[in-house]
Structure 1
Amino acid sequence: MHTARFPSPSWAGRTSSTAIRLNAVALALNSRPRKTLAWKTPGEALSEQLRLLTDSVATTP
């Protein structure tokens, strides 16, 4: 059985250096504490809000 082979795009299966740099910048910004979040990182603030939400749902009769 013969199957046709099509060339894949040059970017397929590889992460470009630009994407790697952008991910590094995003990680640096998202792991920085914010004054508006009471000096918590966005991840810490989100985790706290989700915990509060699940605690309030669990205690609702």
Structure 2
Amino acid sequence: MKIIREELKKLSSKIELLEAGMIQEEEISEEEAKELDRLVEETKKNGIPWEKLKAELGL
């Protein structure tokens, strides 16, 4: 019985960790989706290329 309780306690802890790490999904409006798409495109156009960033950081 003691072993079962210990295992249940371990499982409970693991479940709590999983629940804490879950990302809540959220509905967004069409307008918000368009704004996110615009920001993605802007970032792609104006972002710093990875190779350049690595060089600047000395990686």
Tell me if TM exceeds 0.5.
Answer: no
The structure in which a higher percent of residues are helix is: 2
Q: Which has the higher contact order (CA 8 A, sep 6+)?
A: 1
User: TM-score, structure 2 length as denominator?
Assistant: 0.35
TM-score normalised by structure 1 residue count:
0.34
